[in-house]
Structure 1
Amino acid sequence: MLSEIFQKPKPIIGRVQLLALPGSPDWDGNWDILIARAEQEATALATGGVDGLILENFHDTPFSRERMDVAGAIAMALLTKRLKQFTHLPVGISVLRNDPETALAIALNTGADFLRLSVLSGAFVSESGVVNSRLNELLHYKNRLKAELPPLLVDLSPQHLTTGINQATNRQAHTLAHLLTLAQELPTHFGPISLAISSQALQPEALIAFKQQTRFPVWVEHESPHHEPDGWFESADGLILAAGIRKASALHPDLPPTIDMPQVEELVNRLRGVKTVQEMDPDIFLQR
């Protein structure tokens, strides 16, 4: 299971959003910026106290609905290896909207610890159109490589298509019924699965109801910049940081916002109940 990788309750992981990689539409040929940016994000997250990382080719937009470019896959593997050595944290791989074969190849060749998949079964409606599951292709590829699948962190969202849901009286109940139907349709015979659900999809109360009715561990991706993640963190098996930990760079205003380490540290410490120096009793420093 994914929790066994971290060996602690309620792990917190951060996303390293790689700049455009070779072979993608916005690749500019600048390896120095690509590497420095990846190292900054990974170091800021690790220093801030997260328990693991997810590497994403986030800026390879518009995403292909097929496979990742070979040059981009090699670059992502090199960066994965570098960041694992840099941080000594567990690392997950997420490729495109849904390219599990490339994600598996990168993981096997770099020692990455898990895969994050947008679509395990069924289909997903994205800005690029309908993205279909590649589970059949993934299992065939696994057999060709004579490999075992690492733990999977599988997204569930209202954008996923399903065979049908029960009628509900309000939007939150409708979303809850939709996600429960998706969870029931997931295959489980080939490896451990954990679910990732956006904080924008389910409120903490609905998340509790979801967890009570599914057999999978449930992680929450915090994507509500106007809400603190405490309620979701309390109810979930783990937290993925997405919102509220990025800042724009005055030195490189054209680059996307990067990780703000003090914000990560403050958030992680608060979620874990770790007091800052300012919050501690001053007398504790006078005791021998």
Structure 2
Amino acid sequence: MLTLPEKAVIACVHLPPTPGSPGYDGKIDHIYDSALRDAEVFLRHGVDALIVENFRDAPFHPDTVPVETTATVAGVTREVVRMSTVPTGVAVLRNDASAALAVATATGADFIRVNVHVGAVLSEQGLLTGRSHETLRLRRALGSDVAIFADARVKHSQPFVYQDLATEVRDLSQRADGIIVSGELTGLETSPQDLLTARRATAGPLLVGSGVTPGNLACVYEHADGFIVGSYFKVDGVPGNPVDESRVADLMERVRALRSAAGTHPGDARA
């Protein structure tokens, strides 16, 4: 099972629009080249893990994605895994956990991110329902050791089942290997209070899923085990823009400073 370094930074490799999505430009090599170029920048500056996402495929399918999406994400993920020196994850948006798990297992990736793993939410894609019963059985059937990181109070949604964060986190902790807490929308800061609530409800790995910057990192550093970073690493902090290498360098410098002050190092692992 996956073990991440203490206070891990997980950088999002956002793919250009994939075949079948409205923005696809017909240039498949561009998707591979973009992903590998971004991954190389992240690795050069010392991120602790990568996660490949079909981020620019919006508007997303609510659950099961077409086979061409799965095939593309699998092909790119395998190339990223082959060149990467750190753990690699997969997210198939909006909520196709089975596809993500199959891709991760087939490509040698280490973990997946699932937006809705338990309960149900109302989102811009309509109703999203947790399928942990299917995902966990699929993992067993595949003989896979891919870790499952699941969102609590996932962004861009309103919950139907869980009216308080702590209850959702406690249930998720029984069905996932780690919990992700985010802001309300992509790129928005994660509430330190929400993070503290989640920390009190789980002893397992807890990740900040959005809004991390060098300026606010210290506010969430103590109670989080890791940080998934997408928007901040882009030009002007806009998620659809290209990666800005200077922003990657700035955040990683801040992380190293906080690690040094706390006496922790990248090799200090947490399961």
Could you state the TM-score of these two structures normalised by the residue count of structure 2?
A: 0.83
1:88 aligns to 2:76 (yes or no): no
Q: Which of 183, 197, 210 is the matching residue for 1:222?
A: 210
Q: 2:63 and 2:227 mapped to 1: Cα distance?
A: 29
> Which residue identity lines up with residue 115 of structure 1 in the other structure?
I
1:207 aligns to 2:195 (yes or no): yes
Q: Is the 8 A contact 1:19 1:57 kept in 2?
A: yes
Residues 225 and 187 (structure 1), Cα distance of their counterparts in 2 relative to 1, 3 Å cut: closer
Q: Is the 8 A contact 1:18 1:34 kept in 2?
A: yes
- The Cα shift of 1:93 comes to 0.6
Residues 160 and 153 (structure 1), Cα distance of their counterparts in 2 relative to 1, 3 Å cut: farther
Q: Which of 94, 112, 115 is the matching residue for 1:115?
A: 112
Q: 2:227 and 2:214 mapped to 1: Cα distance?
A: 17
Map 1:20-169 onto structure 2 (within 5 A): 20-145=17-142, 147-157=143-153, 159-163=157-161, 165=163
> Which residue identity lines up with residue 155 of structure 1 in the other structure?
D
Q: Which of 241, 244, 266 is the matching residue for 1:257?
A: 241
Number of aligned positions between the proteins: 251
- The Cα shift of 1:227 comes to 4.8
5+ residue gaps, structure 1, are: 166-177, 249-254, 276-288
Residues 206 and 9 (structure 1), Cα distance of their counterparts in 2 relative to 1, 3 Å cut: same
Counterpart for residue 269 of structure 2: none
Q: Is the 8 A contact 1:222 1:229 kept in 2?
A: no
Structure 1 stretch 195-204 or stretch 214-223: which is displaced more?
Answer: 195-204
Could you state the TM-score of these two structures normalised by the residue count of structure 1?
A: 0.78
1:184 aligns to 2:167 (yes or no): no
Q: Deviations over 1:66-120 (max 9, x none)?
A: 3121122111111111112222221111001111111111011100001110011
- The Cα shift of 1:213 comes to 3.2
Q: 1:87 and 1:39 mapped to 2: Cα distance?
A: 9
Residues 201 and 164 (structure 1), Cα distance of their counterparts in 2 relative to 1, 3 Å cut: farther
Larger radius of gyration between Structure 1 and Structure 2? 1
2:167 is paired with a residue whose SS is: helix
Q: 2:145 and 2:98 mapped to 1: Cα distance?
A: 11
2:113 is paired with a residue whose SS is: strand
Q: 1:212 and 1:256 mapped to 2: Cα distance?
A: 34
1:154 is paired with a residue whose SS is: strand
Counterpart for residue 245 of structure 1: 233
Q: Is the 8 A contact 2:170 2:201 kept in 1?
A: no
Q: Which of 252, 256, 268 is the matching residue for 1:268?
A: 252
2:81 is paired with a residue whose SS is: helix
> Which residue identity lines up with residue 267 of structure 1 in the other structure?
L
Q: Is the 8 A contact 2:234 2:240 kept in 1?
A: no
5+ residue gaps, structure 2, are: 260-271
1:19 is paired with a residue whose SS is: coil
> Which residue identity lines up with residue 91 of structure 1 in the other structure?
T
> Which residue identity lines up with residue 198 of structure 1 in the other structure?
S
- The Cα shift of 1:23 comes to 2.4
- The Cα shift of 1:25 comes to 2.7
Q: 1:72 and 1:163 mapped to 2: Cα distance?
A: 30
> Which residue identity lines up with residue 234 of structure 2 in the other structure?
R
